[in-house]
Amino acid sequence: MKERKRLQLGVTRRTTLMLGGAGMGLLIARPAFAQAAPVEFGPEKYGLSIFGDLKYPPDFRHFSYVNPQAPKGGEIALTVSSTGGNQNFTTFDTLNIYSAKGNGAGGMGLIYDSLMVGAADEVDSLYGLVAKSVRWSADGLVYRFALRPEARFHDGSPIRAEDIVFTLETLKGPKAYPVYRQILQPILSAVAVDPLTVEFRFAPGRSREMPLTAAGLPIFSKAYYAKHDFEAGTLESPLGSGGYKVEKVDPGRSISFRRVPDYWAKDLPVATGQGNFDVIRYEYFRDREAGFQAFSSGAYSLRSEFTSLIWATRYDFPAVKDGRVKRETMPDGRPSGTQGWYLNTRRPQFRDRRVREAISLAFDFEWTNKNLMYSLYKRTNSFFENSPLKAEGKPSPAELALLEPFRGKVPEEVFGEPYSAPVSDGSGQDRAILRRASQLLAEAGAKRGTDGVMVLPDGTRLQMEFLEFDAGLSKHVEGIVKNLKLIGVEASQRIVDPSQFQRRVQDFDFDTTSMRLVMSLTPGESLKAIYSADSADRPASRNLAGIKDPAIDAILEKIIAAKNREELNVAVRVLDRLLRAGRYWIPAWYSAEHKIAYWDMFGQPGPMPPLAGSPDSFAAATWWHDAEKAKKIGK
């Protein structure tokens, strides 16, 4: 199951991108350098951390998971259609990934630098890139970044404080992807103190992650956009400053990036041992089968496998048998996140919690896992699977303290064991579970009409459509549709082209659709964009279910205000209990490992850190071309 269009807000690692927080209002400084009110700042720091100390010392030379002597050269080719959490669409029509217009091309984050970046083996910490240091006020509401004078855009022009101010103004403006406006609201002002100093001011009560969000913003050139429309879709590459430039674009089919040999930051500790390939290429395919066929023929070099049928049965082609293609599984230490079909509660047929639960019971995971997925997966129940954030057992005293104010206002089950889907008999049509589904519909007042379709008390017919852009889940959905019809729900599935799919999802014009969101181990303000009432009616928000629950909104504020990891974990577990009690989705499945295959022509620095995220992005950042291996396999 794949995630919708990735929101590439800011770089927190060389291999992954961060989506930050939200809050209240924005006042952006205009071009001239501004005189801010006097503030007493603490000492200069080379990095930022949410909780605790930084892993790497001030004099670190490189991250521990890279090879600082890695040779440069060669190419790595990836596919966008198989990268799951990285990109969903099977085509692209713009290189502008920050505007809501069009489908953005994969890999465009490679061209942008940010003030700071993170490590793949550490949670919630950033180290200086464009910024050489940062200082902040005692109240944590003012952060001042000192820029490196040598930082440059690809046209040779220097990166200056006014570019950072322009970036924030643009992402908060009407031309950027709408969710950025919500996420960046707690930044009250951005001020260019002088050409090499930029100051961010945050709203009182701002979330702990907002300084990291500010430090992770991509940096746009103010001068470049004085001559270019930021909002417009374009196949001309925007001006960046990162380690790669766009080299070649085959519209809708592929995009290649070439390493910048004189990249201004290539010798910094945060870049050493990374960016080793001369070319990073992304290929697009119309569906997963086409992508697999292309990989097996050598059209691209590394594939993350998300289709269990293919992983279990199709890796028997000659290149695998003779060792030219290697297969590996890598541990995934991140929360496995929210993966399932979200029910759009804006639609009248899904407003009753009992109806939503009845619909979710139509999914026989045990049958699906065995017959369609070769028993390679586990059932998703929590919104924070594979993490200490998952609610388990009865609420702890600390959890109960947060829940008590809502007693009588939320389902009573949140005060007991968290909801988990029943385990079926694996027949594909468990009669006991379907009887329970029918009972729930009856409790909601539904009655069968003359055509056999259930009708709710307000006259709403119980009908629903599963909307997708890819046929990869069709067989999984077929079983759900069959069982739904048995309990009187008129169900169907529809596959539309990616552009239509994106428009309909952004406008909430769907009954149900699938989504996978990978959560942070330190979630905060970003959760508002997914679960808050404020996000429910924002076009293009990720609150696909349209959740509006005062208890959830209150707990989100507790999460944002948590002062340490223990408080955070308690509040997130309470959120998990509330979300699970709301029956907002048909929970799907997860795996706590990555499955990859690659043509054996690469050097690797060692095991991928479990917190690194996407193997594709990690490989592109830290692997290197091995000429001897490539020669042996004819590459």
Residues 600-635: pLDDT tens digits?
Answer: 999 999 999 988 888 999 999 999 999 999 999 998
Judged against a pLDDT cut of 80, whether residue 142 lies above it is answered with yes
Which band of pLDDT confidence, cut at 50, 70 and 90, is reported for residue 81?
Answer: low
Angle at 294 between CA 290 and CA 298, to 5 degrees: 170
Judged against a pLDDT cut of 80, whether residue 330 lies above it is answered with yes
Across the range 503-511, mean pLDDT stands at 96
Which band of pLDDT confidence, cut at 50, 70 and 90, is reported for residue 375?
Answer: very high
pLDDT at 157: 98
Where in the chain are all domains bearing CATH 3.10.105.10? 338-588
Which band of pLDDT confidence, cut at 50, 70 and 90, is reported for residue 301?
Answer: very high
Judged against a pLDDT cut of 60, whether residue 25 lies above it is answered with no
DSSP classification of residue 70: P
Judged against a pLDDT cut of 90, whether residue 72 lies above it is answered with yes
pLDDT at 16: 32
pLDDT at 37: 58
Across the range 314-338, mean pLDDT stands at 93
pLDDT at 425: 98
CATH number of this structure's domain 10-50+60-67+112-225, picked from the four choices 3.30.300.130, 3.30.413.10, 3.40.190.10, 3.30.460.10? 3.40.190.10
Closest CA to 8 of 79, 93, 100, 77: 100
| CATH number of this structure's domain 338-588 | 3.10.105.10
Strands 463-468 and 512-517: parallel
pLDDT at 17: 30
Across the range 147-157, mean pLDDT stands at 98
Where in the chain are all domains bearing CATH 3.40.190.10? 10-50+60-67+112-225
Judged against a pLDDT cut of 90, whether residue 569 lies above it is answered with yes
Judged against a pLDDT cut of 80, whether residue 35 lies above it is answered with no
Across the range 91-106, mean pLDDT stands at 89
Q: State the Cα–Cα distance between residues 406 and 397, nearest whole angstrom.
A: 15
Q: Are 80 and 294 in contact (CB under 8 A)?
A: no
Of all residues in the chain, the percent with pLDDT exceeding 90 is 78
Q: How far is CA 90 from CA 233, 247, 308, 409, 635, in A?
A: 17, 20, 20, 44, 27
pLDDT tens, residue by residue, 238-262? 999 999 999 999 998 999 999 999 9
Q: State the Cα–Cα distance between residues 593 and 540, nearest whole angstrom.
A: 30
Per-residue 3-state assignment (H helix, E strand, C coil) for 175-232:
CCCHHHHHHCCCEEEEEEEECCEEEEEECCCCCCCHHHHHHCCCCCCHHHHCCCCCCC
Supply 166's token pair.
Answer: 């322009």
Judged against a pLDDT cut of 60, whether residue 365 lies above it is answered with yes
Judged against a pLDDT cut of 60, whether residue 88 lies above it is answered with no
Q: Left, alpha or beta for 275 (phi > 0: left; psi -120 to 50: alpha)?
A: left
Average pLDDT, the chain: 91
pLDDT tens, residue by residue, 435-449? 999 999 999 999 999
Q: Are 108 and 146 in contact (CB under 8 A)?
A: no
Calculate the CA dihedral of residues 415, 418, 419, 422 and round it to 10 degrees: -130
Closest CA to 203 of 20, 24, 22: 24
Judged against a pLDDT cut of 60, whether residue 27 lies above it is answered with no
Strands 125-128 and 47-49: antiparallel
Judged against a pLDDT cut of 70, whether residue 186 lies above it is answered with yes
Supply 348's token pair.
Answer: 């009248």
Q: Are 480 and 363 in contact (CB under 8 A)?
A: yes
Q: How far is CA 52 from CA 44, 122, 518, 563, in A?
A: 17, 11, 23, 11
pLDDT at 593: 92
Amino acid at 368: T
pLDDT at 24: 27
Strands 27-28 and 187-194: parallel
Across the range 289-295, mean pLDDT stands at 93
Across the range 198-203, mean pLDDT stands at 97
Judged against a pLDDT cut of 70, whether residue 83 lies above it is answered with no
Judged against a pLDDT cut of 80, whether residue 504 lies above it is answered with yes
Q: State the Cα–Cα distance between residues 95 and 232, nearest whole angstrom.
A: 10
Across the range 365-391, mean pLDDT stands at 95
Which band of pLDDT confidence, cut at 50, 70 and 90, is reported for residue 31?
Answer: very low
Helices 565-582 and 550-561: crossing angle, nearest 10°? 160
Does the global pTM surpass 0.85? no
563 vs 161 pLDDT, higher one = 161
pLDDT at 613: 82
Residues with Cβ < 8 Å from 564, sequence gap 6 or more?
A: 51
Which band of pLDDT confidence, cut at 50, 70 and 90, is reported for residue 520?
Answer: confident
Which letter, b or e, does each residue of 375-407 get, where b requires 16 or more Cβ atoms within 10 Å of its Cβ?
Answer: eebebbbbbbbbbebbbeeebeeebeebbeebe
Which band of pLDDT confidence, cut at 50, 70 and 90, is reported for residue 9?
Answer: very low
Across the range 47-66, mean pLDDT stands at 94
Judged against a pLDDT cut of 80, whether residue 409 lies above it is answered with yes
Q: State the Cα–Cα distance between residues 342 and 515, nearest whole angstrom.
A: 7
Supply 8's token pair.
Answer: 């590439």
- Among 10-14, 325-329, 476-480, 487-491, the range scoring the smallest mean pLDDT is 10-14
Enumerate long-range contacts of 388-391, CB under 8 Å, 24 or more apart. 388/521, 388/569, 389/335, 389/519, 389/521, 389/523, 389/569, 389/572, 389/573, 389/576, 390/335, 390/573, 390/576, 391/418, 391/573, 391/574, 391/576, 391/577, 391/580
Q: How far is CA 210 from CA 137, 284, 560, in A?
A: 14, 34, 10
- How many other CB atoms sit within 10 Å of the CB of residue 600? 16
Beta strands, E only, 449-576: 454-455, 463-468, 490-495, 512-517
